[in-house]
Amino acid sequence: MGLPRWLPLFAQLVALPLSGTWAQDTIRVFVVPHSHMDVGWLYTVQESMRVYAASVYTTVVRELALRDHRRFIAVEQEYFRLWWDQMASRTQKLQVRELLAHGRLEFVSGGQVMPDEAVTHVDDQILQLTEGHGFLYETFGVRPQFSWQADAFGASATTPTLFALAGFNAHVISRIDYELKEAMVHAKQMQFVWRGSRSLAEQQEIFTHVLDYYGYCTVGYSWEGDAPFPARLQDMAYTNLNDPVTVHNIETYLESFVLSVKLRASWYRTPHILWPWGCDRKFFNAGMQFANMDLLLSFINTHSSQLGITVEYATLSSYFQAVHAHNATWDVRGHQDFLPYSSEESQVWTGFYASRSPLKGLARRASALLHAGESMFTRYMWPRPGRRLDPGWALKQLQKLRWAVSEVQHHDGITGTQAVQVRDMFVGHLRAGVQAVLRLMASIVLGRPRDSPGARGRRVGSTRSERWGRPAGMTPRPWPSPGEPCGAALACLFLLHGGPPPPTVVHENSKECPPSVAGSEPEGRLAAVYNPLAWTVTTLINLTVSVPQVTVTDESGHPVEAQVQRSKEIPHKYDLYVLTTIPGLSYRYYSIRPTEQAPDGKQAPSATMTITSELDLKPRKLRTRPRGQNLVSVKNDCYTVFLDPDTNLMHSIWERWNNRTVSVTQEFLEYTVNGDSNDGPVSDNYVFLPKGPADPAWEAVRVEIERGRLLTEIRQYFYRTMDAKEHTYAIYSRLAHVPPARELLCGRLEQELRVGPLEVNREAILRTSTDLHSLRVLHSDSNAFQMQRRLPRDYLAHAISRNYYPMVQSAYIEDSRSRLVLLSEQAHGVSSQGDGEVEVLLHRRLWNNLELTQYFNVSLKDPSIVRPVFWLLLGPPSMTTRLRPRSGLALQHRPVVVLGRLTEADSKRPVARQQEAVTLPPSLHLQILSIPGWNYSSDHSEHLQNLQKGFPRKARADLRRVLLRLQHLYEIGEHRVLSRPVTVNLKSVLRGLGTLVAVEERSLTGTWSVNSLQRWRWRTRNAGVGARVWVLPARPFRLCDLERPLAPSDSAAALNLPEQLVRRGFGSVPACQGSTQVCAGSSRPSAPQGPVVTIGPKEIRTFFAHFQRQ
């Protein structure tokens, strides 16, 4: 045959200079087939399943089964779960199990979605990962060990920490700033060991691989074309169909492949090259794709000796095993993240931090409601389940919202970067899940069997989705119209926007929705208030009433101090505030009646009315009045807020801890952006590119002050013009009048904003300007888990947008004496553009002529109004350090209020005895208390055996296993006292749920016993980076000496525990042996009694808890 005509060219390719100790080695190429399947971007989940997603799994499973050498990785679980539950045949399910057993199909990441990393909350990241892992382990007994975050828009330092806690061995990312990636490529630093948490450091480090310039897509090797969506939905970006591989063109494919391999090999430090093979919506015709790949890869290997290259189908497991075996020494990266992300100079991806603000708010409130519903249901089931509802039905209600909240964490979900119809899908799923959980909560809390939707055979009604949250682009209706039908199971719900803090409210079943809590019905309302936090909360709950004369009494019939004031949003309505103190995971009950309808005809004390004062409309102008001269003050025992009557703007704040007055001014401004790509780069759902500095968005301000005994509210209305009839912006600031001892409530200034509607191609910000000498240094949070220090960077182009960062929950600026903290209800963008300034990107209204906008309606053009909520803390760093984590949680997990009709029987009903409160030390947070419903043995071998015996029977939900997760809120060295390790006795903390009989410590998502979890160790050269001061022992805590013998009902099988961990009928227990033991029943006292665990700074510890059924 002679020499191939392409061989001289490849002699030049082989001679390409390669550096490193392996330069003479054969390059080993690991081809990893995959399909990137967005769970909602341009197409809805339903459209994607119908057109391509189901075909991916159907054809991939078939093709893998035909050829043993082929491989495939699956990432997002949502599509796979839909395919598995609704479409897969018995034969296909058997094939999947066989492929998994032999490592030919591998699940990576394994979460419900591939989540965003910039604007997601750590709780929601854990939820979606746990949802996917629970399904995979229960169904297949597999546990993902490698991540695939190939399309998230930047990389958070929290995400690798979570993956390490879940038992992962390596982490894959791709989208990092283009300038940084170029520098890392040049320095061969595309692989490193990442210690994403400053406090956890090497304990939870993870090997990290950055995909090269090609990212996760393989261009030029697609032999199946594009998924056959209808013409109106065709993705204009992916239309290429490559020619099939033949003897006539295989040399051309070979040239391109080998050139790319040699180039990639020059960027990494080992001869092992990861080649992701696939892209968006690929492998829907896996037969065509694999057939051509087989020809090309086989041809390359035939000439591997001449080329110096071998190529093989691979999974991430086989690739990282090869890299690990190379035993190289790696650089260490500390807890810095890779945010913000720019893909090129004019593509600064910081706009999505604020895109679709209503969706971001809805997702966060849904998550908070789920958190409350989980613990409420767990407390209902333990120690003795009630008889009012079917637990199986209850679990399904929670599962609906778990799915919806997990789904929206997708990197084109909560980011607001999806098409309008996909946004509507996310909103619809969230509202349906919320309504389901609210039905459950109403059934539990109101305790009236006639209303229980859990009765067998009863059809549960539904409500229209508009009744929860607010449709994007619409002003929320605080109450449905009088006489509007509400459905059989849930009357109506809305999140109160006008009170501190606005709780979640759900009404009891009724035929019509009342327009208010009291006043429309003579008997009034019963309000059950639930605290979802594991500590005692003192706060103000806010309800809307129709009349100002109302009386509030508690469970014992004693009057409760309350305040009424004119509603700021609803004409002819009133805001009712009630001061309440609620123990952890407990309830308070209040009766709310019109005063003239007080019990026994007696005149009960009415809620006090506020005194209203006004400052006339003032035009915008520079402040000229010297500080402290004729200012208007509003104060409580912690702060005094001063207003400048010349401008009606905030002037300054005095804080008691430093006895210092800090100049503080707040105003709304707008950035103008370009919408015509012919005139230059444009802002879109992803990108933020302002034309210049922000301009004031108002010309005049009017002020109202509502002064009351419980709180005082400052209402600032900002008008776009002097003669405007309606305000465009508003700030409602509240100070609670409580003693300084109630520091969490006294020590915050609560603010609710009203923003919009905006003009097209405007981006609205709230800028807070102070006289703090912060030098433009900003601190913003990483997924509400840890803080990042953001130094100002002076870029030559787009310096404004490139100095924006995500603010998931908190941000602050400071000088040597004081710190100003902003806590947010939802994600926003945040920046410090000037000394002493912090600005928050609140809302965006955009329209452009980009392809995504024109063809897919990926736009932000709706004239919506948004109502962000912030809490401000001002004081010395020691005070704000102490209060910030708990205040952030208090904002996130506000009390849930369930409203029912107040009957005469309720007035005479004796006070019910409550379960004992759940209270944790101030450094700890109960991240989750739930009944997940998984049905698998804690012993891995036993679980695999059960799977072999039980397939294909679907396991029944296990309602006995309780998932418990505890989180330490503080970093090492952050606070003199609160940063210390905390030791808790779980038996004591959880005694309100009954007698604890067994506890197991698990990995983050519950699929590993920590006793068997052994992650890979990697050699590092700068081991001192991020080194810990305090180090936990490698073993988990020991659980011994519980007080009673296990009952017969507490068998190992009943508890889903391995037999060796449960022993019955003995009088004493020897000292625990090994790293994890669950011991039962000791007649001898122990000190301390029960399971004791020590949790170090920033640790997240996960347990399965089992209680004695009563």
- Amino acid symbol at 288: M
Q: What tens digit of pLDDT does each residue of 550-581 get?
A: 999 999 889 999 999 999 988 999 999 999 99
What is the rounded CA–CA span in Å between residue 889 and residue 895? 11
pLDDT at 820 over 90: yes
To 10 degrees, the CA torsion angle through 1080, 1085, 1086, 1089?
70
pLDDT of residue 275: 97
Encoded tokens for 873: 């803390």
What is the rounded CA–CA span in Å between residue 784 and residue 811? 10
Smallest CA-to-CA distance from 710 within 857, 538, 481, 488 is with: 538
For residues 96-101, average pLDDT: 97
Smallest CA-to-CA distance from 368 within 240, 501, 202 is with: 501
DSSP 8-state class, residue 645: T
Whether the Cβ atoms of residue 398 and residue 373 lie closer than 8 Å to each other: yes
Query: Which range is least confidently modeled, 56-65, 150-159, 1051-1060?
Result: 1051-1060
Residues with Cβ within 8 Å of 1043's Cβ and at least 6 positions away in sequence, in order, are 995, 1081, 1082, 1089, 1090
pLDDT of residue 950: 76
Smallest CA-to-CA distance from 364 within 318, 430, 319, 304 is with: 430
Q: What tens digit of pLDDT does each residue of 242-278 get?
A: 899 999 999 999 999 999 999 999 999 999 999 999 9
Per-residue pLDDT band for 241 (boundaries 50, 70, 90) equals confident
Per-residue pLDDT band for 116 (boundaries 50, 70, 90) equals very high
pLDDT of residue 486: 31
pLDDT of residue 1038: 35
Per-residue pLDDT band for 949 (boundaries 50, 70, 90) equals confident
pLDDT at 12 over 60: no
Which residue shows structure tokens 């807020």? 641
Catalytic residue (choose from 38, 116, 123, 151): 151
Q: What tens digit of pLDDT does each residue of 706-764 get?
A: 999 999 999 999 999 999 999 999 999 999 999 999 999 999 999 999 999 999 999 99
Whether the Cβ atoms of residue 737 and residue 646 lie closer than 8 Å to each other: no
Query: Which range is least confidently modeled, 56-70, 543-557, 658-672, 968-982?
Result: 543-557
- The DSSP annotation for 209-264 comes to EE--TTTT--TT--SS-S----GGG--TT----PPPP-TTTHHHHHHHHHHHHHHH
What is the rounded CA–CA span in Å between residue 67 and residue 263? 30
For residues 867-873, average pLDDT: 98
Per-residue pLDDT band for 1109 (boundaries 50, 70, 90) equals confident
Measured in Å, how far apart are the chain's first and last C-alpha atoms?
Answer: 84
DSSP 8-state class, residue 423: H
- Neighbouring CB atoms inside 10 A of 597's CB total 18
Per-residue pLDDT band for 955 (boundaries 50, 70, 90) equals low
pLDDT at 1030 over 60: no
- Amino acid symbol at 1015: R
pLDDT of residue 2: 42
pLDDT of residue 821: 98
Distances (CA, A) of 206 to 147, 374, 868, 1007, 1015: 10, 31, 36, 19, 9
For residues 1051-1075, average pLDDT: 39
pLDDT at 1060 over 70: no
Smallest CA-to-CA distance from 96 within 33, 49, 141 is with: 141
For residues 780-806, average pLDDT: 97
What is the rounded CA–CA span in Å between residue 769 and residue 651? 10
CA 424 from centroid of its chain's CA atoms: 19
Q: What tens digit of pLDDT does each residue of 834-845 get?
A: 999 999 999 999
- Neighbouring CB atoms inside 10 A of 79's CB total 24
Smallest CA-to-CA distance from 83 within 105, 44, 50 is with: 50
Distances (CA, A) of 328 to 21, 270, 316: 10, 8, 18
For residues 111-137, average pLDDT: 98
pLDDT at 132 over 60: yes
pLDDT of residue 580: 96
pLDDT at 1057 over 80: no
To 10 degrees, the CA torsion angle through 910, 916, 922, 928?
-110
- H or E element at residue 290: helix 286-302
- Amino acid symbol at 857: N
Query: Which range is least confidently modeled, 213-222, 643-652, 807-816?
Result: 213-222
Would you call 188 exposed, middle or buried from its count of C-beta atoms within 10 A (0-12, 13-18, 19+)?
middle
- Neighbouring CB atoms inside 10 A of 150's CB total 22
pLDDT at 1064 over 70: no
pLDDT of residue 9: 45
Which backbone phi and psi does 459 adopt, to 5 degrees? -80, 125
pLDDT at 800 over 70: yes
pLDDT of residue 455: 37
pLDDT of residue 602: 59
What is the rounded CA–CA span in Å between residue 312 and residue 45? 33
Number of helices followed by number of strands (H, E) in the chain:
23, 46
Smallest CA-to-CA distance from 919 within 975, 993, 980, 978 is with: 993
pLDDT at 496 over 70: no
What is the rounded CA–CA span in Å between residue 648 and residue 645? 5
Per-residue pLDDT band for 460 (boundaries 50, 70, 90) equals very low
792-818 CB burial, b ≥16 within 10 A, e <16: beeeeebebbbbbbbbbbbbbbbbeeb
pTM, 2 dp: 0.90
For residues 506-528, average pLDDT: 55
pLDDT of residue 1017: 96
What is the rounded CA–CA span in Å between residue 627 and residue 960? 63
Runs of H (alpha helix) within 672-754: 743-746
pLDDT at 108 over 90: yes
Give SS3 for 744: helix
Instruction: Respond yes or no: is residue 390 known to be catalytic.
Output: no
User: pLDDT over 70 for what percent of the chain?
Assistant: 81
pLDDT of residue 231: 58
User: pLDDT over 90 for what percent of the chain?
Assistant: 75
246-254 long-range CB contacts below 8 Å, 24 or more apart?
A: 250/295, 250/296, 250/299, 251/4, 251/5, 251/6, 253/221, 253/296, 254/6, 254/296, 254/299, 254/300, 254/303
CA 825 from centroid of its chain's CA atoms: 12
pLDDT of residue 988: 92
pLDDT of residue 1033: 34
Q: What tens digit of pLDDT does each residue of 325-365 get?
A: 999 999 999 999 999 999 999 999 999 999 999 999 999 99
What is the rounded CA–CA span in Å between residue 614 and residue 632? 11
What is the rounded CA–CA span in Å between residue 737 and residue 744? 12
Encoded tokens for 72: 């495939």
pLDDT at 508 over 70: no
pLDDT at 236 over 90: no
Smallest CA-to-CA distance from 520 within 899, 1056, 14 is with: 899
Query: Which range is least confidently modeled, 687-696, 772-781, 903-912, 924-933?
Result: 903-912
